[in-house]
Amino acid sequence: MHRWGPRERDALAALNADPEVMRFFPGTQDRARTDALVDRVEACFEERGWGLWAVTPDATGEPVGFVGLHPLPAGVPGAEAGGVEVGWRLARHAWGHGYATEAATAAVTVAFDIVGLPDVWSMTAELNTPSQAVMRRLGLTLHSRFEHPAVPEGSPLRAHVMYRTTAGRWAQRRSEADEAAVGSR
């Protein structure tokens, strides 16, 4: 996980233009929208010290998308309290390798151990069961169902789910994992 450069922008532009990658979003994104997204992400890093990191697996050396932290948009559960989302978007060829879970685990650890957030949220369209599976692997639990205000009415993608975990639950989960690892030796 690292900051953004030209190679990472190019990779994100390609995956944002892929209809299969973007099937749980209202549409694909052109290069201008992708560059604007990365500019906002970089501004978040400058302002807060964290954001959506570009992901480049060591095994390939090629950028495959992003994983990280981003303020929740207005109008969704948790946003009114300044909630922060852990999110990801990866190229098709990167699916099924555990990159989203591994990198999102690192991002949530940053959120709690370095940034000091009280909770972390994650949302997706109800239809996006692969992302919900990642959320559950992270230890997030279903918080609510809602209609996403930025998705057009009548769209099958408007129905969303919001998952959440707290710093206390995250610490407990890590403690249990550490105890299990010691017990298996």
Q: What is the mean pLDDT of the chain?
A: 94
Q: Whole-structure pTM over 0.95, yes or no? A: no
DSSP letter assigned to residue 161: E
| Mean pLDDT value across residues 12-16 | 96
Taking only the tens place, the pLDDT of each residue in 124-141 is 999 999 999 999 999 999
Half-sphere exposure of 105 (CA within 13 A, CB side): 12
Q: Which of 123, 93, 84 lies closest to 20 in space, CA to CA?
A: 93
Taking only the tens place, the pLDDT of each residue in 115-126 is 999 999 999 999
pLDDT of amino acid 174: 83
For 162, residues 6+ apart whose C-beta sits below 8 A from its C-beta are: 76, 77, 78, 121, 122, 123, 142, 143, 144, 145, 146
What's the rounded Cα separation, in Å, for the pair 109 and 61? 24
pLDDT of amino acid 69: 98
What's the rounded Cα separation, in Å, for the pair 170 and 106? 12
Indicate the pLDDT class of residue 183, thresholds 50, 70 and 90: confident
pLDDT at residue 50 is higher than 80:
yes
Domains of the chain: 6-183 (3.40.630.30)
Taking only the tens place, the pLDDT of each residue in 58-72 is 888 999 999 999 999
DSSP letter assigned to residue 73: P
pLDDT of amino acid 185: 65
Say if CB 166 and CB 118 are below 8 A apart.
Answer: yes
pLDDT at residue 108 is higher than 80:
yes
Taking only the tens place, the pLDDT of each residue in 73-97 is 999 999 999 999 999 999 999 999 9
pLDDT above 90 coverage of the chain, percent = 90
